[in-house]
Structure 1
Amino acid sequence: MKVSPVGMLVIAVCVLAAVACWVVGYFGLPNEVTHRNLAENPKLAVSVTSGKTSATRNTSSAAGLPASSTAVSKPLAQLDKAAKTVDLNITTNQDMAFNGYSKGALKIAVPTGWTVKVTFSNSSTIQHSVGFTDWAHRQGNSFPAAFSHSLMQGFQSGITSSHAPVSFQFTADKAGKYAMVCGIPGHAAMGMWDEFDVSDHLQAPTVTTAKGTQKVS
């Protein structure tokens, strides 16, 4: 079939327009839409909000990452001005999860000997608590403290949204694999636990989820 010069011109214009649209879309849209450079997609925010929220990624200095329905204002983890100290802002709500993560989906790692300052808040009427115990006890009914003072006050009774946040701190002085758990009976067995590691080989704390690992800085 012969194509007239006008037809050829129309085809050429259409091809050029299609190529232009592809170029604009590929380079103009974010990686998570185009799926290019998957190794860098998505780049973890340095400040992390709750994972199930649709919160905007924050690139300020601190660290972190998915079940609450409201974005948290503080990053999950950030370095304190004091040397070798990391602040953990642990939140929960009606879900059996810490900052939106449960059953080990969240891993926080700190260098051996660092001080860990924890602020725990609960936005639901269901009682929750947080503490750090041996890995083998993460789904049990009793939770021996992994470190001195690594269980919050009222660990077995918990707090609700009517309580002020609870703060405590401990020194992660023993390298190994541990667990962050809720001390309310039955909650850890239902999956309310995540991983907490202490390593002789780390230079700074890290936060890891399915999206990747981010160093706290």
Structure 2
Amino acid sequence: RAAGGREPLIVPTDVRIREQCDALIERTVEHFGRLDIMLNNAGIGDRRGAGNPIQDLDDADWQDTIEVNLYSTFYCSRAAVRQLLKQGTGGVIVNVASGTALRSSPQSLAYAAAKAGVISLTKSLAAQVVGENIRVNCIIPGFVAQAPAQSEEEASMRAQRGRFITVRRLGEAWELGPLAVFLCSDASSYITGESFVIDGGGLAGGVAPTGWVVTEPAEVRHG
């Protein structure tokens, strides 16, 4: 809570379920009186067998990954737009995708497809609601360490991954925040329908070995 700010509201939500996404927006408006910003950041990597070759990919594993990463963005964005139109005040939607969507990702078929959908949804939705003073943009993170390394082994693993990123290190979670704040602020009032890569130059010049499979601890996020 910032000085002079209000108490935060925490609403546990299963973003795979449309009704819960609608309820999230309703509770937010009840608590704060209005909605200004929707940031869609829910996501999971390929669960269970969702990273299997397509011939071995189970329907349920595919569906679970798509629902959490793509359906959630659609459900929450739709609920947010409905509220913003009702208010007539305009607003901001920021989606979070992944660099995986912009490169060949043979080990992350479902995840890559879902995040590519988020990027496309961002562009099309931005064009649809631009006349309502609603801006929609997207952040595309790369590999981000969400907490300090807990062991020498983990630090070594991160350093090894960092070798394949242009700046030779993983990103830190705090490095994503300023971009999100900027996109939610009036300073970006002339920006909509855009996707911003923040990956230490990974897509620009970093090259991972062909067929590289990443097994990640909980505190390392494959953006």
TM-score calculated relative to the size of structure 1:
0.29
Q: Kindly name which structure, 1 or 2, has the bigger radius of gyration based on alpha carbons.
A: 1
Name the structure where helix makes up a greater proportion of residues. 2
Structure with more of its chain in strand, by fraction: 1
